[in-house]
Structure 1
Amino acid sequence: MKRITETSIEADPRLPVIRTTRDFAARPEQLFRAHTEPALFAQWVGPNATTTRIERWDASTGGSWRYVSVHDGTEYWFHGCFHEVRPDRIVQTFTFEGDPDGVALETLWFEDLGDGRTRLRTQSLVDSFESRDAWLHSGMEVGVNEGYAKLERMLIDGAA
């Protein structure tokens, strides 16, 4: 297991899966809202050096999404479908449009730890170990850690 600040990022040795875990000082419904309301999501997702614009966002079972992250004038587009959206879990696909064949199936769990704390666990299943390792070497950990740090600040400030 690889530990980076407060976020754990783990590559499963038997499956092409990436798992992340992070505890937040927030209730599950606050984290759920930050993942399903487009204006909130755009504020925290990704590295600090990027801005995000939402093009389409229907965070409901059967809905879809598409957004662009902009870094130094370069646009990086992402899209997917929400397969299941419920207060304790979101199941969705995730595609970086620069690699349209690289579709991941992602599951997010919002686990109530009590006392206003929630554990966010995610699992991303990709089609091969090569794809998984490419994701891990792409700088994704920077985006995950910086994004979750922004989310934590939003939660503390009451913005989410």
Structure 2
Amino acid sequence: MTTTNDTDYSTLQLDVPEGIQTVSITRDFAATPDKVFRAHIDPELFVKWCGPDSITNTIREWDAQTGGKWSYVSTDDDGEYGFFGSFHEVRENERIVQTFTFEGFPDAVNLEILTLTDLGDGRTRLQSTSVFDSLESRDGMVASGMEHGIREGYDKLEKMLAEG
């Protein structure tokens, strides 16, 4: 499955290849790589844009450096959802490699690789690949509404970056 969404300022491409345990995301932002990078590693910024509009995020732990770890809780009308992981590589303005685990399924650990490319003219391409431990985990995450959360989250990030 590949989906795209055209708006005034961006296109999101979500690739969920048949029979492969990955999800890939590509999204361009009208901001420089340093700003997009900071929004991913600064916990005060991260909680403002990550996930769908219906949730509120609270940081429990955040050490955004190579070897650091992170943890946060997303809250909505239905309850709380905890997530945690480790930063394996944090390369300023270029790349973040981390693990991602939903506390509701603690045996399912994903590896996420995020790369930022400077497109010039104050634009950045974000490419992210998540490698799941199984097709079942990947398909369950996709069925949970992942695409909706990614779209709304990145739309919030675009607006936040535009506001400075």
Q: TM-score range by the shorter chain?
A: over 0.9
- Map of 2:160 onto structure 1: 154
- Map of 2:27 onto structure 1: 22
- Map of 2:18 onto structure 1: 13
- Map of 2:45 onto structure 1: 40
Q: Return the letter of the residue paired with 1:52.
A: N
Structure 1 CA distance, aligned partners of 2:123 and 2:104?
36
> How much has 1:124 moved relative to structure 2?
0.2
- Map of 2:106 onto structure 1: 100
Question: Mapping of 1:52-91 within 5 angstroms?
Answer: 52-72=57-77, 74-87=79-92, 88-91=94-97
Question: 1:121 and 2:127 equivalent?
Answer: yes
> How much has 1:14 moved relative to structure 2?
4.7
Runs of 4+ more than 2 Å apart:
12-15
Structure 2 CA distance, aligned partners of 1:26 and 1:4?
19
Q: Return the letter of the residue paired with 1:54.
A: I
1:80-131 Cα shifts (integer Å, max 9, x gaps): 0000001200000000000101110000001100010000000000011111
Give the 3-state SS of the residue equivalent to 1:9 in structure 2: strand
Structure 2 CA distance, aligned partners of 1:142 and 1:127?
22
1:60-84 Cα shifts (integer Å, max 9, x gaps): 0000000000001611000000000
- Report the TM-score, using the length of structure 2 for normalisation: 0.93
Structure 2 CA distance, aligned partners of 1:14 and 1:89?
27
Which stretch of structure 1 is more off in the superposition, 59-68 or 133-142?
133-142
Give the 3-state SS of the residue equivalent to 1:101 in structure 2: coil
For the 8 Å contact 2:19–2:135, the answer to whether it is kept is no
- Report the TM-score, using the length of structure 1 for normalisation: 0.96
- Map of 1:2 onto structure 2: 3
> How much has 1:132 moved relative to structure 2?
1.0
Unmatched runs of 5 consecutive residues or more in structure 1: none
Give the one of 84, 104, 115 matched to 1:109: 115
Identity of aligned residues (%): 54
Unmatched runs of 5 consecutive residues or more in structure 2: none
Structure 2 CA distance, aligned partners of 1:78 and 1:54?
10
Structure 1 CA distance, aligned partners of 2:102 and 2:66?
21
